[in-house]
Each structure stands twice: as structure tokens, then as C-alpha cells.
A and B are shown apart, each in its own frame.
Chain A
Amino acid sequence: MALSTLTWVSMLVSLLLLPGVAAAVLVRSLRTEERKLALLREQDDVDSYSPRALSDLREWIRANPDDPYSPIARRRYNECVRSLRAIDEPHYDWSDEQIARLELVDE
């Protein structure tokens, strides 16, 4: 039985949006983890937030200084900044200039 064009499109889109994405995510997740582990073995530490994620965290700390979770947020922020200063190769896409501009926050 020949399938109609619409059926083919429907089937292929389903395959791309589901198994295709799942396979891509699996590969990416495993590769990311492999790289993270290699960096950890070499440097004994790894940056924990991407530039955008750390920027969000900084904004949140500024906006919520009295939040009960603020001390944890500050520790995590500083932990990431210290890691970035100490390690040779960051996990995320940080430039030297971006790292140089980072400042610790009061804990």
C-alpha cells in the first residue's frame, strides 16, 4: 500500500521530533558529561554555571538580598567564580575577558 504524502510527512515529523531529538539529546548529554569528567580529572574542579546562568544568578542575588536562600546562592556564585579563576579550561563558553570581569559577592 502506498502512503500519501501527508502520511509520510506526518510520520517523518514524528520521527524527527521524538526519536531524533531523543537520540541527539542522549549523544549530547553523554559527550558533555565525558568532557566534564575529563576536566574534573585534569583540574580537580569545573565551572558550574554558564555565562548566562551565572548572570541570572548574580541578578537574582542583587534582587533578593534577604531571601532565605541568598547565602546559598552567594556561595554557589563565588564557588563558580573561584573555579573559573583557578582552572585552565572552563567547561562552558567563557572568554578570558568575561572571567577577568567577574567579582566575588559578599557571603
Chain B
Amino acid sequence: MSDSDPRTAREEWGSRFGFLMAMLGAMVGAGNIWRMPFTTGENGGGAFLVAYILLLYLIAVPGLMAETMIGRYTNYGVIGAFRKVLGSKRAQGLGLVVLIVNVALMSYYAPIIGWALYYAGHSILMTFTQPGFQPQAFWEGFINNPALVVGMHTVTMAGLAGVLVFGIRRGIERVVKWMIPLLVVALVAVSIRGITLPGGMEGVAFVFTPDWGYLTRGSTWVAALSQALFSTGLGWGIALTYGSYLSRYDDVPLGGGLFTAIGNTSIGLLAVFATFPVVFAFGLEPSAGSNLLFISMAQVFPELPGGSLWAIVFFVSFFFATFTSGLGITEVAVTTVSEETRLSRTSAVLASCGAIWLFGLPSAYSSAFLGRMDFMFGSFGLPLATLSIIALVAWKFGPERARVLDLNRNAGVYIGSWWNPVVKYVIPVVMVFILGYGVYSSIGTVNQRLMLLGVAFMAALVVVSTLVMSVIGDEPPSGSAAVPGGDD
């Protein structure tokens, strides 16, 4: 190990496959399984996919490379990475912002994992194929029973803690190496079954018949942009954290960028194949949102030959998708808490999971509260966190320095200087646009007050985090190079 690589006794991924599956597992979540299919259907089918693929390659892939690279370079979690590059106590506040946004996102994502777990459990109990099963009543009976939803939220957080306590290699890696391949196999199986259903090809036609008129609509591009950025997990701190456990010999561009972004989207596409043929074959409403999964799809299985088995395959794989994302999101907090407080991993896992469980109680108790959290943190918190991480690489570390020093080190593909302007200008502009669009599209709607609250909260978060870290933050470690400015 060279002195240019200031590693501590930090854990590393046990295998390349484990890292790739962990990245994929963290990014593939509920959004891929239910959001991608109906977003595609609502926005011109094939035309949406054209816009989406363009933005994915142009923005999400380079962005994820930047985030993973800064994690591997610094070997720290979100606060440590900001500390190492920026070199000031105050600036670590931006790392704290990323951490708080991450915890907030997980606080309302954990109850959703609980929903998936509840449905996966009932699929195994074959509830969905019992005579007289009523999907709407079943869903309402569950979601309107706070004790049950809070209970599932609690079981979820206990399950996540149970895996995370074993660490990166023996915990996360061991689980994702099984769950992600099984998820892919399950989605392929459901896709094949769906396409072979009478009327199933209508669903394929609905999704893939391009309506080019949609490419001239701004809403199509905004939807494609949101899907490309948020479903790939850019700016959540996950790629940074997982990247910090990479060995110096590992590759960043292939695994940290290309495979993660495109693999994640491929699973979204598989979900399209798995869902839409079934939706059309059974005459369901394709734009039913979350209801599509928990109500519409649940009513399909009693009528499907071998429905009990297909229900298990579908809902268990959906649970795998959400659980592996939960591992990635929670690990951001675990790594950071462990580093910043010097707590043992077990204590950091208990503290992080305990805090997320506590903050998640209101969202578990009330799905209306969950919706408000999603609006505030999804529309304003996440772009802010992404902007912070990208700004760290683009405007402080400097994209050219990042590219020549670390991104191309041990890389399987060469990344040329085209990457620099994308990271320095395109992604920040896009994130500012998304923030602005979130504000603009809320004006005059029922969300206006919530938008104002969200903007005020995020502004306060930056100020308070900066102040807090200027008081309690550590000085930069000796020998670390704080950069006085960007390099180009």
C-alpha cells in the first residue's frame, strides 16, 4: 500500500461481483418496479425511452462516476469526504446536509419496505389466491391499521440492522449477491409469463410504440430527467459510501458509473415487461401509480394459472428490490456515524437504525405524512444533496484533476476530457433546473404551502448544518490536501 493511498484498516469489498450487486441493489428500488412502467406509459412509450436513455448516458452515468470516485479517493463517508476535500470545519456542513437528507429519505422509505415485506409474507401464505380475496379491502385494511404498518416498519429496520451489523463484506455483500440475481431472474420469469398471456402483447405495444409528439413536450423531458437521475440514486451518498470501500485496484467508471446506471435502468425496463403485459391482459388501469402494484397486480393472481407461485415471485422480488436499497441508504448513515463518532460498527448500526426507525414512525403511521415527506425531500432535499456532492467534485476537487488522478486509475475504460464539462456545468445546471421546476410547478397548486415549507426547510438545513459543523466539526486530518479552488 503506497503512502499516496492513505487507507486505514477500512473494510473493502470481498469481490467485484459483490460490489456491483451492492451498487445495483442500492439503486434498484420501489421506483424501478412501479414508477418506471407507468411513467413510460404516460409519456409516449418509446419516445419517453429515447429521452430517458439520452439523459441517462449524458448525465446519470458521468454523475455516478464522479460520486463513486470521490468516495474511493477520500476513503470516507459523506462528512469525511467533504472534510478531506474542502478542508474546513464549516464546509463539512454540506456533508451533514447530505446525511440528514439521506436519513430523512430512509425514514419514509423504511415503511414502504415494510409494505413490500407484508405483501411478500402474504404471498408466501398464499393469501392473494384465497377464495373471496378483495385486493382493495386488503390494502386498506393494512394501510389503515397503524399498529400493523408500524410493526412492519419495525421489523424492516430490525432486519436491516441485522444485516448491516455484519459489515460490508459479511453483511451487505453476502445478502445482495443472492437477492439481486434472484430479483433479475424473477422479473425475467414474470416478463415471459406476462408476454405469453392472451392480450399481453398489447401492453408491450402500449409501452414501446413511440409517439414522437411527446418529444416536443417539456413534461416528457422532465419526467425522463427525474427518472434518469433519481432512480439511479445520484447524490444520495450511496455511491460515495460504497465507493469508499473499493480497493485501489478496483475500477470506478465501469462499475461505479456505467454498470450501476444502466443495470439499474435495465431492471426498470424488465419491470415494464413484467408489469404492462399483465396490466393489459387483465384490463387494468396502467397509470394507477402505487395502486398498480398493491391493488391492481394483487387482483391478477387469483385469475392467473399458478397464481400463488407468481404472486410469490412478484412480491418477494419486489421486497428484495426495496430491502437492498434500504441497505444502501442506511449504510450511508452507519458509515458516517461510525467515522465521525468513533463508535463501533454495532453501536453505529444501532444508533443509525434506531434514529431512522424513530423518524420513520410518523410516515409509518400516516401515508399522508409519508407523501408530504416524499414531496419535500424528493423535490428539494435530493437535488440539494446531489448538487452538494457534484459541486464537491466539480467545483472544488476539479473534474480534470479528478479524472486524471483517480477516475482513470485502474479503470477498465478510459474516460476522456468530455467528462469535465458534463460534471462541471451540465449536472449542476440540471439540478438547479429540477429545484426551480419543483418550485415553479407547485405555484398555485395545493402543494404551494408545502413547497414554501420545503424550500425554507432546506435553506435552514444548509445554514444550521454549516453552523453546527463549524462548532463540532473536526479539523482536517494532517496531510490531507484541501484544495483552494477548482482546477479548470
Contact = CB atoms under 8 A, between A and B. Distances in A.
Interface of A: 1-4, 6-7, 10-11, 14-15, 17-19, 21-22, 25-26, 28-30, 32-33, 36-37, 40, 46, 48-50, 52-53, 56-57, 59-60, 64, 67-69, 72-73, 75-76, 79
B414 A33 contact: no
Nearest to B201: A1
16 contacts: A7-B205, A7-B210, A11-B208, A14-B53, A18-B53, A19-B270, A25-B263, A26-B259, A29-B251, A46-B249, A52-B414, A53-B409, A53-B411, A75-B2, A76-B4, A79-B4
Contacts of A21: 258, 262
A19 B404 contact: no
B251 A3 contact: no
Nearest to A14: B49
Contacts of B255: 29
Nearest to B249: A36
Given A18-B262, A28-B254, A29-B254, A64 B210 contact: no
B interface SS class: helix
B401 A56 contact: no
Interface residues of B, number: 48
Contacts of A59: 404
Contacts of A11: 46, 204, 208
A76 B208 contact: no
Contacts of A6: 46, 209-210
Contacts of B173: none
A1 B204 CA distance: 10
B412 A29 contact: yes
Contacts of A4: 205, 209
A50 to B, nearest CB: 6
A92 to B, nearest CB: 9
A57 B405 contact: yes
Contact of A10 (B209, B251, B405, B484): B209
B436 to A, nearest CB: 29
Interface string B241-278: 00000001111001100110011011001100000000
B246 to A, nearest CB: 11
B408 A26 contact: no
A48 B251 CA distance: 10
Sort A-B residue pairs by CB-CB distance and give the 5 closest, nearest first.
A10-B46, A53-B408, A33-B16, A19-B266, A75-B4
A6 B49 CA distance: 13
A59 B404 CA distance: 9
B17 interface: yes
Contact of A72 (B4, B17, B209): B4
Given A1-B202, A72-B481, A67 B209 contact: no
A79 to B, nearest CB: 6
B219 interface: no
Interface string B83-127: 000000000000000000000000000000000000000000000
Interface in B202-220: 202, 204-205, 208-210
B403 interface: yes
Given A4-B205, A22-B266, A26-B263, A36 B49 contact: no
Contacts of A19: 266, 269-270
Contacts of A29: 16, 20, 251, 254-255, 259, 412
B259 A22 contact: yes
Given A26-B259, A50-B414, A53-B409, 9 more contacts: A10-B45, A14-B53, A19-B269, A21-B262, A40-B249, A48-B248, A49-B410, A56-B403, A57-B405
Contacts of B266: 18-19, 22
A35 B422 CA distance: 31
Contacts of A53: 404, 408-409, 411, 414
Contacts of A69: 401, 405, 481, 483
A18 B201 CA distance: 20
Nearest to B265: A18
A73 B404 contact: yes
A106 to B, nearest CB: 15
B484 A68 contact: yes
Nearest to A1: B201
Interface in B454-488: 481-484, 487
